[in-house]
């Protein structure tokens, strides 16, 4: 047993939902108890999807336990097929259903539905969300691209125009939507077509066409790695190894794709439309030099961010870690290059201790590190899932490619004080606004939260119980409530504000 408050990753069936929700024309029937439908709101609220995830839950209850649950599953699967008419059905169990040992795959096959059924075996007590997504995507790719695998030893037939697949983007992925747009455009400038993007936006029929591409662009190894390895074995497709986050990595990625597609990268490299190199060289960025930064996230984003931080911002890496145990070795190697010890843990208290010990000036991390940093009064930017709703922005904001580099520059520098501000801070050391304890400007007035002014104004007196009552109102609306109440009392010539006056005023003004 592990004592847990925060978890960086959900259970593996949530990973499967991320693949199902990303795709078109599939439906996932999940054997799960009542309550597991909570996962729907990750997609409808955090990612703000305008549709329900294509998932049907059996939602069994205690009274169903016994022989009944298998029948319940079959009914749910049949109803889901009849209602949604998908091209393929995914079936599996959540953690509780794993314990009751119905066999979703066998039960679904027994229904003899006229569509393929992909059974997912996701061990909930060993594995987590990203593993579940990778395994699910792999099983889907095998199921639909598998029949097209050529006999061993077949040579690849080159396409007239080079083309590739983009592997890994999924639902609930951090900036996946815009990364795909950015990288597709980049490949277009190289003269490379995109055959299939998967799982995001792909149907089972699209998966069947994966083998037609010349090579694979593996954007998110956490989700697409396993499928990419199988495609390499089965179709002889090479996968890109460089994740194009940051200007340097993007340039290397261009060179890598160009080599795989046998095209000339010169024009694309010469254009390199990024503001980051100049912004980083401009004198205002001098103050960034050697800023101590702690990096934590999924392995791909953490490794990439550490490189960008060191090479393109001139920061000093004082910590690097990940919660993705599957990629611990890669992160350890990267940490060694930056001269730090890797933190491989999914226990946020261990991360908090590591951040505290490293004394960084900037934390690059997940939603959780944002809160650790806030508590420590340190600047922070988000570079990786898990993220909250504000990191599924309306505006275009990729992390990858040249526009992604621009986004990184703005979003990492913003929480730090600007150079000029830091200069002023040195000049006016004793000034109230700039003294040593003053928080960076983005933290607002976190250090000194203004309490509402003491309650005595003019001739109106607050009775003790009314003063106590208004104390129960949340601080961010207390000021307005107080003003309204006093105005109300004044207009009526009341000398004393009682609890009754408070509620009379509330009824008068509304919320």
Partner 1 sequence: MTEAALAGCAETPVLRQRGQREVFCGLTGIIWLHRKIQDAFFLVVGSRTCAHLIQSAAGVMIFAEPRFATAIIDERDLAGMADANDELDRVVDELLARRPEIRLLFLVGSCPSEVIKLDLSRAAERLSGTHAPDVRVLNYSGSGIETTFTQGEDACLAALVPILPRTAPGAPPSLLIAGALAEVVEDQMRRLLDGMGIGPVYFLPPRHALDLPPVGPNTRLLLAQPFLADTARALEARGATRIAAPFPLGIDGTTAWLRAAADAWDVPAARFGSVTGPASARAAHALDRYRPQLAGKSVFLFPDSQLEIPIARFLAREMGMRLIEVGTPFLHRQHMAPELALLPSDTALSEGQDVDLQLDRCRAAMPDIVVCGLGLANPLEAEGITTKWSIELLFTPIQGYDQAADLAELFARPLVRRTRLRV
Annotated active-site positions, please?
A: 284
- Inter-helix orientation angle 247-261/401-413, to 10°: 170
Is 394 an interacting residue with respect to partner 1 (CB under 8 A)? no
Sign, CA torsion 255/187/143/117: positive
CB 58 within 8 A of CB 77: no
Of 24, 87, 100, 418, which one interacts with partner 1 (CB under 8 A)?
100
Q: Is the dihedral of CA 432, 435, 438, 441 positive or negative?
A: positive
CB closer to partner 1, 65 vs 420: 65
Interaction between residue 79 and partner 1 (CB under 8 A) = yes
Nearer to partner 1, 357 or 389 (CB): 389
For residue 382, the minimal CB distance to partner 1 (Å) is: 14
Rounded Cα–Cα distance for residues 406 and 400 (Å): 10
The answer to whether the Cα torsion of 397, 399, 405, 411 is positive or negative is positive
Ramachandran category for residue 419: left, alpha or beta (phi over 0 → left; psi -120 to 50 → alpha): alpha
- How far is the C-alpha of 58 from the C-alpha of 113, rounded, in Å? 18
Stretch that binds partner 1, among 144-152, 240-248, 296-304, 496-504 (CB under 8 A): 496-504
Q: Least separation, in Å, of the C-beta of 228 and partner 1?
A: 26
Residues 339-358 that bind partner 1 (CB under 8 A): none
Taking the complex as a whole, the smallest distance from the CB of residue 371 to partner 1 amounts, in Å, to 4
Among 22, 23, 56, 366, binds partner 1 (CB under 8 A): 56
Locus of tokens 């350890």:
332
Q: Determine if 397 is a binding residue for partner 1 (CB under 8 A).
A: no
Q: Which of 157, 395, 449, 511 binds partner 1 (CB under 8 A)?
A: 511
Cα dihedral: 193, 199, 204, 210 (round 10): 40
* Calpha distance 204→441 (Å, rounded): 50
> Which strands sit side by side in the sheet containing 362-365, from one edge to the other?
342-344, 316-322, 292-297, 362-365, 379-382
Residue among 42 and 306 whose Cβ is closer to partner 1: 42
Q: Does 7 bind partner 1 (CB under 8 A)?
A: yes
Stretch that binds partner 1, among 7-15, 150-158, 220-228, 479-487 (CB under 8 A): 7-15
Nearer to partner 1, 57 or 287 (CB): 57
Cβ distance to partner 1 smaller for residue 84 or 278: 84
Residue 477 in contact with partner 1, rule: CB under 8 A: no
Among 28, 60, 73, 412, the residue binding partner 1 under the rule CB under 8 A is: 60
**Degrees (nearest 5) of the Cα angle 96, 101, 105?**
105
Residue carrying structure tokens 């097209």: 148
Residues that bind partner 1 (CB under 8 A): 1-7, 9-11, 13-14, 33-42, 44-45, 48-52, 56-62, 64-65, 76, 79, 83, 94-96, 99-100, 124-126, 128, 368, 371, 388, 469, 472-473, 499-500, 503-504, 506-508, 510-511
């Amino acid at each position: 047993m592990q004592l847990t408050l925060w978890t960086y990753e959900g259970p593996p069936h949530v990973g499967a939902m991320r693949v199902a929700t990303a795709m078109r024309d599939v439906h996932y029937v999940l054997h799960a108890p009542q309550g597991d439908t909570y996962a729907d709101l990750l997609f409808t609220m955090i990612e703000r999807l305008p549709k329900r995830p294509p998932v049907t839950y059996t939602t069994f209850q205690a009274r169903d336990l016994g022989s009944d649950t298998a029948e319940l599953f079959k009914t749910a699967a049949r109803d889901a097929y009849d209602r949604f008419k998908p091209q393929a059905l995914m079936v599996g169990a959540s953690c509780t259903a794993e314990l009751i040992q119905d066999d979703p795959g066998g039960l679904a096959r027994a229904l003899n539905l006229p569509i393929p059924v992909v059974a997912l075996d996701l061990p909930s007590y060993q594995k987590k969300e990203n593993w579940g997504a990778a395994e699910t995507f792999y099983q889907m790719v095998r199921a639909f691209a598998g029949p097209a695998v050529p006999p061993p030893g077949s040579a690849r037939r080159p396409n007239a125009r080079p083309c590739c697949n983009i592997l890994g983007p999924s639902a609930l992925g951090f900036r996946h939507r815009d990364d795909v747009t950015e990288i597709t455009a980049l490949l277009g400038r190289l003269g490379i077509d995109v055959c299939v993007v998967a799982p995001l936006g792909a149907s089972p029929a699209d998966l069947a066409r994966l083998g037609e591409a010349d090579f694979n662009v593996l954007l998110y190894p956490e989700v697409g790695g396993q499928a990419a390895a199988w495609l390499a074995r089965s179709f002889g497709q090479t996968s890109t190894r460089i994740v194009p986050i940051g200007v340097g990595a993007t340039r290397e990625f261009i060179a890598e794709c160009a080599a795989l597609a046998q095209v000339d990268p010169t024009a694309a490299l010469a254009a390199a439309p990024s503001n980051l190199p100049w912004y980083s060289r401009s004198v205002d960025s001098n103050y960034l030099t050697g800023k101590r930064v702690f990096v934590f996230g999924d392995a791909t984003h953490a490794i990439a961010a550490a490189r960008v931080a060191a090479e393109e911002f001139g920061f000093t890496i004082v910590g690097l870690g990940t919660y993705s145990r599957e990629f611990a070795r890669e992160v350890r190697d990267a940490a060694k290059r930056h001269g730090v010890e890797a933190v491989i843990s999914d226990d946020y208290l261990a991360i908090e201790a590591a951040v505290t010990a490293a004394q960084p000036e900037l934390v690059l991390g997940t939603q959780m590190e944002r809160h650790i940093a806030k508590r420590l009064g340190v600047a922070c930017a988000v570079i990786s899932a898990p993220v909250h709703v504000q990191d599924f922005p309306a505006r275009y904001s990729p992390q990858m490619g040249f526009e992604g580099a621009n986004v990184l520059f703005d979003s990492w520098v913003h929480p730090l004080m600007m150079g000029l501000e830091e200069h002023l801070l040195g000049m006016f050391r004793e000034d109230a606004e700039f003294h040593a304890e003053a928080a960076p400007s983005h933290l607002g007035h976190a250090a000194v939260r203004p309490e509402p002014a003491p309650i005595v104004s003019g001739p109106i007196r607050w009775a003790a119980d009314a003063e106590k009552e208004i104390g129960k109102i949340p601080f961010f609306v207390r000021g307005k409530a107080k003003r309204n109440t006093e105005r109300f009392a004044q207009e009526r010539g009341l000398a004393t504000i009682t609890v009754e006056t408070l509620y009379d005023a509330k009824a008068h003004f509304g919320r």
